[in-house]
Structure 1
């Protein structure tokens, strides 16, 4: 009799555990279903901003994302040139670690998808498929700035001081509009944008890549001097203006975000420098 009692006790414990596990699995399934519904709803909202595009079509347009179509490689992902059957040329940014960049992915679509400014690269589509996250932009046929600054074909010499300031001024104008005029709600990214712009300024004036700037004499920790500038820019009566841009760039990359200028202040300063060059 005691054996039967113990058997019934074990049986109740066993079935209790089975029921508990079943309930847990049911809850997980319900949560996953809810997550999928929420994500589908989110995707539908994103489609109101820009067109959702097929992964297969984008894959075909880049020859399965071949290295031959690679035109850039940034912190967020690789950028490919895509040629569609109708001969449209697009730039496709394929995010590297999409799970950790989901918020940035959505923010990029909801922000740039609804904005149009002559100094901002238009976002025209996106792709969410097969655990891939892609952003589709208008392709710029003149290439990227890195190619011009780091080219072995002497392209950097074409980028004289006036043209480099014009490039920086155009980018600053677009960012200032985005930060201070457009309904841009991503406040946390403001100071990050300014930091990245400071790095861009340093690359423009020094002709060096980021890894070169952070080695040997570190511009991020020292006051700039003309020794840091691109030699092709020096000795043309504009050394004082070059130094002003270097100082502005170093302000933008200060370690503490609250010590960095606003994008509007950066734009105004660059505009003043540009006018100073035009007065020469």
Structure 2
């Protein structure tokens, strides 16, 4: 045994032809190289896999082109009918009445690189949206059978609400994802343009926007399928809550205002061309369970053709939100959105509706009362009486002055929403840091006998 061991030791100690190093050293070096090679291969695989996942989650300056649309001969099947199932959920208003039916299937969609974001083209008509936070998947086309299965034939128990554009029902996808289905009341504009606009809107992705998931155009109907937001809307929490103390604390309200500003800034400034909301009001600001705001009904007038943007009468529920330059013209743009945002901020701070009617049916506008209170330095009288604690005077002044800038009678003097986001930060308005005293028992009386807006 000893001679064998001695022989092995002798062989391991012999120099090799590789720079004359000993055999045992060469063996160790080879083993180390094999291990390093295996580690490098593993790291490369992980890197490539992660890069692949990122590329399949986000568009980076790509173009979606839709051509050769065809209408399927038979789009219904038992499996497709099961994709949507009816289910009750929490009430939520998305402001939607009766309709149009027919499903189009784009069969030649592809993605390619573009310079300015997403450009959707059908027969030469283009709709462009930015590449920032875009989802790679276009909107899904649903059949009428799927929609009816989701709503139990548009049953009353699945009814959510109605508005200028149509009726909204709740439903549930086969994977238990809840959706809100908006059955549009009109079918203006060409079918191809409608599909183009919907496909483009489905690519918009922002945490403060309600996601548009898909659509149905089967028969005489046109319907939109949205994500379901499960905590009602800001209008109901402000004006229909039965609780004496509002669950909307000052911190939550400021967070809601900031979220709305970010969502609007995305529509106005991160989209090409910019997308005006045109119907911004408290009932169109939905809330999730964490009180995150989600803007609904944005850009919906684009689905009805260009003539819808020049309506003679203002949209339902927009009294008090319409900018003065739009009262007669009714041509709403990003500047009028900023005005509506200012009114919405006043509403969130004060807990009062944008317009009230007295016993003599005289309209009293929130903006006029806010201006009066600010001019008289009665900031503490502006705050919602259902708040448990008064906010710091600095924060209160800052948000009210911001709201007043947004409702400037001259549209050119109103800030952009990107600037509004910056102004929401405390450092932008240097105001005193004194606190408003706790409200006295006589506050409701001093709220203004001559200028009170009823709650």
Same fold, TM-score > 0.5, yes or no: yes
Aligned positions, number:
243
Question: Do the aligned residues in 2 keep the contact of 1:198 with 1:248 (CA within 8 Å)?
Answer: yes
Match of 2:334 among 190, 193, 218: 190
Question: Do the aligned residues in 1 keep the contact of 2:214 with 2:225 (CA within 8 Å)?
Answer: yes
- 1:64 maps to 153
Give TM-score scaled by structure 2 length. 0.44
- 1:21 maps to none
Shift of 1:108: 5.7
- 2:344 maps to 200
Q: Give 3-state SS (helix, strand or coil) of 1:246's partner.
A: helix
2:255 corresponds to 1:169 = no
Give TM-score scaled by structure 1 length. 0.67
Q: Give 3-state SS (helix, strand or coil) of 1:231's partner.
A: coil
Which runs of 5 or more structure 1 residues have no equivalent in the other structure? Answer: 1-36
Counterpart Cα distance in 2 of 1:72 and 1:233: 28
Match of 1:146 among 235, 239, 249: 235
- 2:400 maps to 246
Question: Do the aligned residues in 2 keep the contact of 1:224 with 1:247 (CA within 8 Å)?
Answer: no
Inter-CA distance 156–251: structure 2 relative to 1 (3 Å threshold) = farther
Counterpart Cα distance in 2 of 1:76 and 1:192: 20
Matches within 5 A, 1:1-280: 44=106, 49-99=138-188, 109-154=198-243, 157-186=246-275, 189-212=333-356, 216-221=363-368, 223=371, 225=373, 226=379, 227-233=381-387, 236-254=390-408, 256-272=410-426
Question: Do the aligned residues in 2 keep the contact of 1:194 with 1:263 (CA within 8 Å)?
Answer: yes
Q: Give 3-state SS (helix, strand or coil) of 2:364's partner.
A: coil
Q: Give 3-state SS (helix, strand or coil) of 1:83's partner.
A: strand
Inter-CA distance 235–119: structure 2 relative to 1 (3 Å threshold) = closer
Counterpart Cα distance in 2 of 1:107 and 1:252: 33
Structure with the higher fraction of residues in helix conformation: 1
Shift of 1:82: 1.5
Question: Do the aligned residues in 2 keep the contact of 1:202 with 1:249 (CA within 8 Å)?
Answer: yes
Inter-CA distance 237–252: structure 2 relative to 1 (3 Å threshold) = closer
Shift of 1:91: 1.4
Inter-CA distance 147–237: structure 2 relative to 1 (3 Å threshold) = closer
Inter-CA distance 101–171: structure 2 relative to 1 (3 Å threshold) = farther
Tell me the C-alpha RMSD between the 2 structures.
4.1
Counterpart Cα distance in 2 of 1:273 and 1:96: 46
Q: Give 3-state SS (helix, strand or coil) of 2:365's partner.
A: coil
Residues 154-176 of structure 1: CA deviation (Å, up to 9, x unaligned) = 28611011101101101211221
Counterpart Cα distance in 1 of 2:189 and 2:352: 30
Counterpart Cα distance in 2 of 1:153 and 1:80: 25
The more displaced of 79-88 and 96-105 is 96-105
Shift of 1:272: 3.0
Question: Do the aligned residues in 1 keep the contact of 2:244 with 2:386 (CA within 8 Å)?
Answer: no
Counterpart Cα distance in 2 of 1:253 and 1:103: 38
- 1:9 maps to none
Inter-CA distance 237–147: structure 2 relative to 1 (3 Å threshold) = closer
Question: Do the aligned residues in 1 keep the contact of 2:215 with 2:225 (CA within 8 Å)?
Answer: yes
Question: Do the aligned residues in 1 keep the contact of 2:345 with 2:403 (CA within 8 Å)?
Answer: yes
Counterpart Cα distance in 2 of 1:165 and 1:59: 40
